[in-house]
Amino acid sequence: MDLNFFSNLQSSLEQETNRKDEIRSTVKELDRACRKQNAIINQIHANPTGPVPSVDFEEIKQTLQSLAALIPDNEFYKYNDLWSRSTQQAVFLIIFQSYLQKGEIINIIPVVEETLGVKVDIQNNLNEFHIQLEDILHAYISLISELSRLSVNSVTVGDYERPLIISKHVKDLSAGFQILNLKNDMLRKRFDGIKYDVKKIEEVVYDITLRGLHHQANRKRSLDEEEMKKDDASKMKKTE
């Protein structure tokens, strides 16, 4: 038997090991970048009524590009388990920041593609480096958990309106997930855990309603709107 076969095999094994080591090293960099930005956006929990923390996605974007360069053509699914949780975290950061800025849950896919410079595989037919639909769904589930936490922290600073808004958005998102026939075991397991976050938000809303604090929130909003109208009218008079 030609022993060169084993020499060639050893060379292939070493090449594969080196590639995985490079991928794991880059994924660690991606995780560090995500943790850094997660710490920034989590400041909203300390000051729920304050400005939305500014998240810089440039480092995450560049690290994803470095990661993509390590993956041979048509071998995405051979290695994607090594970074799927990291991309889920990156997508979550985009979804959470978008929600805080817009006050609503939107179709995040176009924003993800633009922010990270990576395509989302909507039709499940991409062989190049991409973000899977499962990662998007995982990120939405993480959002529900984060909003549950935010609803509690909002009440502690006297913001009684936000939990009511969050409750509606989370119920809409939960209803959307119920339409899906989830085949992914991990995704299904996480979806089943949504009910605990929904229940926590419902308890917050129930307590607000029971104490009549939602009326206080409505009055405050009405006063704020009247004040804004007065300011606008005053500005118009000055321009005249």
pLDDT tens string, the chain, 240 residues long: the values are 566 765 666 667 777 888 899 999 999 999 999 999 999 999 999 999 999 999 999 999 999 999 999 998 889 999 999 999 999 999 999 999 999 999 999 899 999 999 999 999 988 888 899 999 999 999 999 999 999 999 999 999 989 999 999 999 999 999 998 888 877 788 888 888 888 999 999 999 999 988 887 666 555 555 555 565 555 556 555 555
For residue 183, the model assigns a pLDDT of: 77
Residue whose token pair is 């929990």? 45
For residue 226, the model assigns a pLDDT of: 57
H or E segment to which residue 132 belongs: strand 131-132
∠ CA 60-106-61 to the nearest 5 degrees? 10
d(CA 12, CA 47) in angstroms, rounded, equals: 54
CB neighbours of 207 closer than 8 A, spacing ≥ 6? 155
CA separation (Å) from 33 to 20, 36, 99, 184?
Answer: 20, 5, 21, 27
Using DSSP bridges, classify how beta strands 120-121 and 131-132 pair: parallel, antiparallel or unpaired: parallel
d(CA 216, CA 226) in angstroms, rounded, equals: 15
Residue whose token pair is 């990270």? 116
d(CA 198, CA 141) in angstroms, rounded, equals: 11
Which tokens go with 56? Answer: 């810089």
Q: Residues 130, 121: contact at Cβ < 8 Å?
A: yes
User: Closest Cα to residue 151, out of 133, 163, 161, 164?
Assistant: 163
User: Closest Cα to residue 152, out of 162, 140, 139?
Assistant: 162
CA separation (Å) from 76 to 63, 72, 198?
Answer: 16, 7, 35
Which tokens go with 69? Answer: 């360069």
> What residue type is 121 in one-letter code?
D
For residue 142, the model assigns a pLDDT of: 95
This prediction's pTM: 0.84
For residue 140, the model assigns a pLDDT of: 95
d(CA 92, CA 34) in angstroms, rounded, equals: 10
For residue 195, the model assigns a pLDDT of: 87
DSSP 105: -
> What residue type is 202 in one-letter code?
E
d(CA 36, CA 46) in angstroms, rounded, equals: 17
